[in-house]
Structures are given as C-alpha cells and as structure tokens.
A = this chain, B = another copy of it.
Amino acid sequence: MNSKSDRLLFVVDHAGTILFAMEGAFAAIAGNLDFFGVMVVSFATALGGGVLRDVLIGATPPQAIRDWRYAVSAFATGGAVFILHQFAHQIPSQLLMILDAAGLALFAVAGTQKALGYGIPPFIAILMGTITGVGGGAIRDILLMHIPIILYTDIYAIAALIGSAAMVLGRRLGLHPALSAVLGGVVCFSLRVCAVWFHWNLPRASVP
C-alpha cells in the first residue's frame, strides 16, 4: 500500500470514528450521564468494535490503544457534542443515517481486511468485519442497559455482514483487493440505506 492510500485510509478511519463517537455522545446525553460518562460512551461506541476485533484476532495491543490519535478523535468529538449538543440536534436525521451507513461500511470493510491480514479464515474474517462495524454500538447499548439494538431490529448488522462477504467473494474471484474493498463497502452502504428507506426488516420466529 503506498503512502497516498495510507493517508486516505487514515482520513476515512477517523471520519468513521468521529461519526460513531458523535452517536455515542448523543445516546449518553439522552441517558443523562455526566461529562465523564459521555466521554466513556463516545470512546466505547467509536472504538469498541475495533478493539474487540483486535483482541479476538490476537492483534494486541489493539490499534486504538497503540495509536493515541484514535482516542483523541473520539474524545474531542464527545466533548464537542457535550458542549454543542443543542445545535448538534439540528442535524437532519436523514443526513446522520447516511453518514452512519458510510461509517458502518468503512468499518466493516477495514475490519475484514485486517482479519484476513492476520490469517483468519475468510468465513470468520467476515464475522470480524461485522463485529468491527457493530461492536461499538452493542457495547454502548450494554453500558446504557439496553438490549443491543442490532439484535432485534433493522437491516444493520446484516448489511455489514453481506458487505464483508461481498468483499471476500470479490477477492476469491480474483478482483484487485482495493476493488473488492470498494465493492464490499458499496454493498453494505446501499443495503443499509435501502433498508431504512424501504422499511426492510428481518423475519422473526413467531413465538407460539
């Protein structure tokens, strides 16, 4: 990977971190946490998925622990939302949803890529990509004592899963790794946005 694509990856990675930290801060403020609580939940939402992935694939210390810039991005965002949250609430929710879908796609693809690089089998690498995308939100929900929202509603985690699978499939079919990553990201993003727009949901078992 040349230094230009490294810089690009760094930019998009931090963009995802900032967006997820923002969502975490909103949830924490809605839960009436104090300043410290807002910072913790911002950090956990933004970086928890990647930390979980790195611990599971044996890439310790996790990237977000080794490189202090991730924590700074998460905390600065959390702090900004804490101060400005009355204005931040005025961001249109459709815009937030689209940015969130972009963050999900990015984290899923980056997580799959990293797991493959650590020699994890492709099927499990897809799961690791999914965890990277949704793990932070699940930790946020548990800290705030909600059942993780990904477990019972919406095409969210499944979009990350299918996007990761598309990326792995692309590589299997001989596509260039960068092209496979773009393919996976587009699949994940499109699925997520369409699911919201068209109110797609997964089936539930009818409890007798």
Contact = CB atoms under 8 A, between A and B. Distances in A.
Interface of A: 28-38, 40-41, 51, 55-58, 60-62, 65-68, 71-72, 82, 85-86, 89, 118, 120-124, 127-128, 142-148, 150-153, 157-158, 161, 201-205, 207-208
8 contacts: A28-B151, A31-B147, A33-B152, A34-B151, A40-B150, A60-B60, A68-B121, A145-B147
Contact of A65 (B31, B32, B124, B202): B124
Contacts of A150: 36-37, 40
Contacts of A89: 208
Task: Determine how many copies of this chain the complex contains.
Answer: 3
**Dominant SS at the A interface?**
helix
Contacts of A51: 56
A153 to B, nearest CB: 7
A206 to B, nearest CB: 8
Contacts of A86: 208
Contacts of A34: 151-153, 201-204
A58 B183 CA distance: 33
Contacts of A60: 55-58, 60
A29 to B, nearest CB: 5
A63 to B, nearest CB: 11
A157 B120 contact: no
B40 A157 contact: yes
